[in-house]
Each structure stands twice: as structure tokens, then as C-alpha cells.
Structure 1
Amino acid sequence: MEAVKLGKPPFVAAALRVRQLIASLAQKHLAQSAILPPPLLSEPRAHNAEVERVVNSFAVQKATAVSLTDLYRFGLEPTAAQCVRNAQFLHHELPIRFAQRVVDLKELPFGLSEHHLVQQSIGHFEDTVQKLASLKQPNVSEEEEDFACLIASVLLDHRQVPMALACALRELHKARRLSGDEQKLLDRRLDDFFMARISMRFLIEHYIASHACHEGFSGVIASACNPFEIVQQASEDVGILCRHQLGVCPEIEVIGDAWRTFRYVPSHLYFVACELLKNSVRAVVQNSEASKAGTLGAASAGGAGSDGAALPPVRAILVCGGETDQFESVSIKIEDQGGGVRRSEMDDMWSYTYTTASYNFDQDMSFPNATASLCQSGNMKSHMEDPIAGLGIGLPLSRLYARYFGGSLDLLSMEKYGMDAYLSLPHFGDDMEILPPPVAASPSQFGSCSKGRNYQAQ
């Protein structure tokens, strides 16, 4: 199998259309409601007993895991009536899931729940529960459109939450050293929170995207997702980012069958591929002999090094398992010669407080409210401003994205040589979305009776 280079894949244009649709709906909601956007995460928030009562009334209910196949089917050609039914399900389901996230954040141990950024994140989730609870169930198309505008603005207003938690976690890590059992407890709590957050954002994005029929897509689910194209695009974007922030980037080779496709969510695979590739290229650059000898910068200035010629390449190898016309899974191996990590540190790689890099949180937390800024500019913050490392949450989040659809992500390190990451993704089948407990069966209108699985048991 030889490395192949392709043009821009269809998922890029589809993702841009979805992004623009979300921004348009959010802007319409702000104009209709004539309200100010939520405060920045650095502003204080007062306690409200009535809000707490409403949140608790939803939090005690069970979330309803949904069949992924049914979501795909109902997003293919949504009629007005189907859009209303989908909105009715989300109108019932989202307040429960958002309220449970309030409980998750309030129960974070070791003083994290009292951190001002966590408190503000709690406030955002409480505001969302209130908004959803105060909006009557949509029964006609006009009401369904208002509901879509509301949850589009919610989707954007919550974009700062991972950064806020990452900042709070870094401050906790500096203030005290957690024992092994304490770290495992914290990681389990955060796994629950972020897995549920992935599910909420997926449901909202899929519902909104299903309003606009795109060829080859059902909402945000691609009928023929090409993993080679996605990893290739991720490699190009990571290469640009690495050269911008580190001055040089090793060659990234993508090897495998360029024509194989399967039903999947391209944005999820793209996120995981980017995180794994960012880790690999940074490790190669910072642990190369040229970097240690202080000659890497000189090589870059001379031109040849700017293409990573002096660095060992990073390779992404894709293999599809099963029959030729109906494979069962996609396996992706990303290998580098970035030095690896010690065996004793392997478990720490999945911790939300582990990172080998630094990042200026104060600078990034100063970005304005996501909804307002996106509605004004029409696009997201450039990926050139995204950190190549230092947040400490990219790797554990990548594993959750893989597990959400029943996949897996594993690491194998050879100390003083390099790291191999193994990503396995199943064919998009009849399984339920994987959620933290408690979880109820899928609603009857989605026609599924299978049960959700506990992702932490994998």
C-alpha cells in the first residue's frame, strides 16, 4: 500500500455548511429574544433556590439512550412532521441531560466544584435548563424553528466549558498532588461528564444539520465516510499548525485503502485524528536529535528543515477488517519516533491533569462569548490559534469520542523510541449511544429496544 494525497474531502464542505447553519439559527435566536448573551466565564454568579429546584427535578430522571441507526434513518429526508417529532424528543431529553451535568460539576471532588470557572460553567448549564423548561413543547413547524434557534445558541454558548475545566484542572494540579486512587476518582467523574457532553452536542448538531439535506449525509452522519480522506485532511491541518507554532513539522504519511468507506460521523474521527497527530508531531520535533543538538532551527531557516526533512516521519496506517464489500471495523495506527514515555507513566496519559506541555489559559479564556462572536464574524476561531498541546484533555477526550460509538483507543509506548496509537472504529450499527448511568431504553418512536452500554466497562 502506498501513501496517496487527495483533494479536499466532501466532509469539509458539509461541516462548513452545518457551522453556518448553526451560526445563522443562533443569531436569529439572539435577535428574536432581544437578550444579552451569557456572561463571560470569569464573572461571578449568584445562587438561586428556584433554579436549583428546577434543575433537581430534571436531574433525577433517566436519560434516554437513542439508537444510532434510527438517528441516521430519521435524518435522511426529514419531513416537517418528522422535524417536529425530533424536536419534541429533544425538548424532553435535553433538560434531563443538561441538569445531570449540573450535578456532575457540583460533585467534582478536591475543591474543583468551587473553582470560579467551574461555578460559571454550572451557571451556563443551569441557564440552559431554565430556557428549555420554559419553552413549551413544539407542536407545529413555527414552534419547531424557534426551538432549533434556541438550541443552536446553546450549542455555541457552551464551547468554553472544556477550556474552563482544563484551566481549573491545571490549577488543581499545581496546588496539590493527587494520590493514584484520587486521580482515578477524578478521571471517572470527568469521563462521565465529557461522555454525556459529547452525546448532547451530537444530538443537537445532528438535529440541526438534518434540516438541510446534504448529499451523502444524514444530519452530521456521513453515509460513506472515507477514513483515509479524513486522516489525510487532519494530517494537512496538523502540519500547518505544527509549522506555525513549532517552526517545523515532520512528514506525515497516510497509508492504506483510499477508497473504503463506512457510515460514521466525520467530525468525531477528524477530532481524534488531529489530537493523535498533534501529539506525535510535537513529540518528534521536541525529541529529535536535531532539536537536542540545537540545529533544528537552523535547518528550518535554511529551507530544507521547514518540510521536516531532518525528522523521522509520522505514519498513519489504515486497515479495514471484514469482507471486501461489507467490512466490520476500521483500524487506524498512528506511529511516531518521538521518544515514547516511561512504562510507569502510561496510565497517566489518560488522566485529565497530565500534560508534558504548557499553555496560556489566561489568554484563551479572554475570548468573548462564543455565540456573539460567531454571529458577528461568521466563522470559528482560526485553527492557527488552537494550541498544539498543553490542555491535558485532548487524549482522554479522544478515547471518549471513540467509545461513544463502541470503538476503542489504545496506546503502546517503546521508551526512548516512540509511541503507537491504535484506534478501532466499528461500522455504524444498531447499538445505542453509550452514556453514563442511569440510562433508559430508546423511545418507542425510534423503534429500538436495545440497551445502552456502560462505556467504562470497556
Structure 2
Amino acid sequence: YPLIPLRSTSSMQGFSELARERSKTVTSFYNQSAIDTSAEKASVRLTLATLLYSGKSPDGHHVLSSARYLHKELPVRIAHRIKGFRSLPFIIGCNPTILQVHELYIRAYHMLVDFPQIKDQEDEARFCKMVQQLLDDHKDVVTMLAQGFRECRRHIQDEMIIRNFLDTTLCSRLGIRMLATHHLAHHEENPEFVGIISRRLSPKKVIEKWVDFARRLCEHQYGNSPRVRINGHVAARFPFIPLPLDYILPELLKNAMRATMESHLETPYNVPDVIVTIANNDIDFVIRISDRGGGIPHSIIDKVMDYHFSTAEESAQDPRMSNLFDNITNSGNHSSPMHG
């Protein structure tokens, strides 16, 4: 009789264990009813006024209230993001780097829902420690997403799907990190702030800080930089969260300075000023950045909001002066405001 090759018992067991592990992995990503339930809930939005006027209570009750809100709210917001990962096209969602981010969100969800009810200051202290750990674990998420989408870019059939996913994910990430950082900041003694809210924010001072940052990058790349003039309601002060401005202003100022320098290459030491105008009333405020950098050509106007698009030539351009998505993928530039 012919010999029939048979698997050894040990190899059969190994194969079965591998199959079970794969099944467990797939289940952990897609078959979790708790995440599905949380994803169906609406997030509870807090206004700036609510955060500000919750203030500080002498007995620390405001800290416990904030922790309990986060304990209930963060799993819902994270579940929404997990649902977003599940909705990605299959071949993109299977990218190892994107899967790694997906797994980070799943892990964060379970850490939060498994944390016991917050009853006292001791529970809140342990909760703070966990929240800080999650912030640290997720500090490279934007870089990882950029890397993952770059790796599978050739498989992207519909750019709008990816843009919508990234718009929602990055906006949600900013909101989650703001809430978490706001809570942790309650433990810091700073009379000028309530959590991360500046009681009397000066737009002019924030602008000046990022003008100095962008100017140094521009001078490093081009040997000079445009002068920046700030006008309008320069004395305005009001309660506001500086963090969104810290995300946006450096990118806009870098764009304005780069465009100005590159459109005046023949006279690099005689370039027009960049004008920043502050307009403020009782309801809202506007910061307008005006430059004479040549504007946006009509041929690329439809592409300027794409994450991977930049007019900066990589061969001649300092990556720190490039567009936001390229900037955050430059692992050497940890000073970038989008790192963490």
C-alpha cells in the first residue's frame, strides 16, 4: 500500500492554535458587541462656557465630575472611531500600520470600559494615570496613519473616502486629546488657566510665538524671511483654548512665508510683508493672514485640501516647511505641533 503522509500531532496542534489565534484576532477587530453598542450612542458635547464656568471647587468636586464625564464619554467617542476604521475599504483596512492604529483604539476602549466606577480622589488619581498612559500610547497615531495611507496609496480608488475618514479621525482625535488634557490640567496650579482654557488669551501673543517659529524655519531654508505685521484688535483678550491655534497658525504662517520667498527669488532680501489681522467682537473672532506669494493656480485649486498634496519640492525643500501631512510624517521633526 502507498504511504500516506500524515501531520504529526505536534504540527496539527500548532496549526490549530494558529487558526484559533487568527480567529481570535479577527473577532477582536470586528465581533465586539460592546463596541457596536457604544458606537450607536451620541457623544455628549461640552461648550467652552461649560468647561470654563465649571471652574474649580475648593473640595475638588469639579475634578471628580470631570473624571466621571470622561469615563463615560471617551469610550463612546473611541467607539465611533473604531466604526470608522471598520468602514475603510478592505485592502486599506488590512494595511499592517493602519491595523496597528485600529488595535490601539480597541485597546483604549477596553481599558476605559474596564476601569471601575470613580468614587473618590484615589480612583480619580488612578484614572488620571491611565489617561496619561493612553495619551502617550497614541502620541504617534497621526504619523502612523500617514505612513499607512502612504503604503497603500496605490490601492485608493476614491480619494474622498480617505479624506472624509482622515477629516473625522483627526478632528475627533483633537477633541479627545483636548478633553483628556483639560482634565489632567485641573491638577496644575495656574491662575491664568482653568484646565487648558486661558482665562484671558491674547491672540497677538499666540501669533507672535508662531511667527518666531515659522521665521526661524524660513531663514534656515531661504536665508531670510518676510517681516510679519500684526494689526487690527491687537489688544483683544478673551477666554479661549490655545491648542487649536497652536495646530493651525504655524502651518498657515509657514505657507505664507514659503510662498512669499519662492515668488520673490530674484529679490530674497526685499520681500513684501505678511500681514496678520485680528478682528474680534462679543461673539467670535477672526485671524486673517495675507501674503503676496502669488496665490493658488487654478490648475491645482481642487487638490489643495488633499492630505498628500504639496507644492513644496522635496528635493529643494526643508520638510519642516512642507504641507501638514508631509510634516507630521517626518519622524525627525518632533518639535512639530502635530507630534502628540
State the secondary structure of the residue aligned to 2:270.
Answer: coil
Distance 1:269 1:154 in 2: 23
1:48 CA displacement? 5.6
Q: Of residues 291, 298, 302 in structure 2, which corresponds to 1:336?
A: 291
**2:330 is aligned with 1:345:** no
Distance 2:272 2:118 in 1: 57
1:172 CA displacement? 4.5
Query: Aligned residue for 2:13?
Result: none
Query: Aligned residue for 2:274?
Result: 314
Distance 1:345 1:63 in 2: 37
- TM-score, normalised to structure 2's length? 0.79
Q: Of residues 43, 47, 50 in structure 1, which corresponds to 2:25?
A: 47
**2:195 is aligned with 1:262:** no
**2:320 is aligned with 1:387:** yes
**Structure 1, gaps ≥5 residues long:** 1-45, 297-308, 322-326, 361-384, 396-458
Q: Of residues 81, 87, 92 in structure 2, which corresponds to 1:101?
A: 81
Distance 1:216 1:267 in 2: 15
TM alignment of 1:92-131, pairs within 5 A: 92-109=72-89, 111-131=91-111
Distance 1:152 1:186 in 2: 29
Distance 1:138 1:132 in 2: 11
Distance 1:78 1:220 in 2: 19
Letter aligned with residue 274 of structure 2: V
Distance 1:171 1:281 in 2: 31
Larger RCO of the pair (alpha carbons < 8 Å, separation 6+) = 1
Letter aligned with residue 193 of structure 2: F
Distance 1:246 1:114 in 2: 42
1:394 CA displacement? 7.9
Conserved? CA contact 1:358–1:391, under 8 Å: no
Conserved? CA contact 1:225–1:263, under 8 Å: yes
1:353 CA displacement? 2.9
1:253 CA displacement? 2.1
Conserved? CA contact 1:76–1:219, under 8 Å: no
Distance 2:235 2:86 in 1: 47
Distance 1:79 1:248 in 2: 54
- TM-score, normalised to structure 1's length? 0.60
Distance 2:137 2:77 in 1: 16
State the secondary structure of the residue aligned to 2:284.
Answer: strand
Distance 1:146 1:177 in 2: 42
Distance 1:265 1:195 in 2: 15
Change (3 A) 1:357 1:172: farther
Query: Aligned residue for 1:192?
Result: 168
Q: Of residues 124, 128, 138 in structure 1, which corresponds to 2:118?
A: 138
1:222 CA displacement? 1.1
Conserved? CA contact 2:230–2:275, under 8 Å: yes
**2:74 is aligned with 1:88:** no
**2:143 is aligned with 1:167:** no
Letter aligned with residue 211 of structure 1: H
Letter aligned with residue 272 of structure 2: P
249-258 vs 135-144, greater mean Cα deviation: 249-258
Deviation per CA, 1:387-433, whole angstroms, max 9, x where unpaired?
A: 221443789xxxxxxxxxxxxxxxxxxxxxxxxxxxxxxxxxxxxxx
1:141 CA displacement? 0.2
TM alignment of 1:362-377, pairs within 5 A: none
Distance 1:275 1:139 in 2: 43
Conserved? CA contact 2:92–2:156, under 8 Å: no
Change (3 A) 1:62 1:203: same
Deviation per CA, 1:143-162, whole angstroms, max 9, x where unpaired?
A: 10110111012112212111
CA RMSD, 1 decimal:
2.7
Conserved? CA contact 2:118–2:124, under 8 Å: yes
Give the % identical residues: 25
1:358 CA displacement? 6.1
**Structure 2, gaps ≥5 residues long:** 1-23, 329-340
Letter aligned with residue 163 of structure 1: T
Change (3 A) 1:71 1:79: farther
Q: Of residues 52, 55, 71 in structure 2, which corresponds to 1:72?
A: 52
1:121 CA displacement? 0.7
Query: Aligned residue for 1:233?
Result: 209
Query: Aligned residue for 2:219?
Result: 243
Query: Aligned residue for 1:156?
Result: 136
**2:38 is aligned with 1:58:** yes
State the secondary structure of the residue aligned to 1:213.
Answer: coil
Conserved? CA contact 1:251–1:313, under 8 Å: yes
State the secondary structure of the residue aligned to 1:392.
Answer: helix
1:315 CA displacement? 1.7
Letter aligned with residue 252 of structure 2: L
State the secondary structure of the residue aligned to 2:191.
Answer: coil
State the secondary structure of the residue aligned to 2:38.
Answer: helix
Letter aligned with residue 332 of structure 1: I
Pairs aligned (count):
301
Deviation per CA, 1:282-332, whole angstroms, max 9, x where unpaired?
A: 222233232xxxx85xxxxxxxxxxxx3332222111223xxxxx322221
Query: Aligned residue for 2:312?
Result: 357
Distance 1:122 1:177 in 2: 18
State the secondary structure of the residue aligned to 1:250.
Answer: coil
Deviation per CA, 1:29-64, whole angstroms, max 9, x where unpaired?
A: xxxxxxxxxxxxxxxxx8262565143343233222
Query: Aligned residue for 1:420?
Result: none
Conserved? CA contact 2:309–2:323, under 8 Å: no
